[in-house]
Amino acid sequence: MKLLLVVSDICFEPSITNNATEIRITIGTSHDFDDILDVTSGILTNEQIAHIHRLWSDDEFPRNFERIGDELIISARE
């Protein structure tokens, strides 16, 4: 399962989408990790939340950054 953190220039409310191949958490530029926790509470496991936190804040964690339109997609390097 691929976990993606998406920072959108036009997102007003954080959201989560979950399908068979990926979990996508979308936040706006003014949101913080507490907003991520609010939207993922009861949906993601502690391990998945820890992974998202590493994407969010760990400068040593190997990440990919891809800008598509109004979105910056952050994912773990494979």
Tens-digit pLDDT profile for residues 10-48: 999 999 999 999 999 999 999 999 999 999 999 999 999
- 21 vs 28: CA distance, rounded Å: 23
Residue among 49, 7, 51 at smallest CA distance from 26: 7
Residue among 74, 78, 70 at smallest CA distance from 8: 70
Q: For 50-64, how does the pLDDT look when each residue is reduced to its tens digit (9 = 90+)?
A: 999 999 999 999 999
The 3-state secondary structure of the chain reads: CEEEEEEECCCCCCEEEECCCEEEEEEECCCCHHHHHHHHCCCCCHHHHHHHHHHHHCCCCCEEEEEECCEEEEEECC
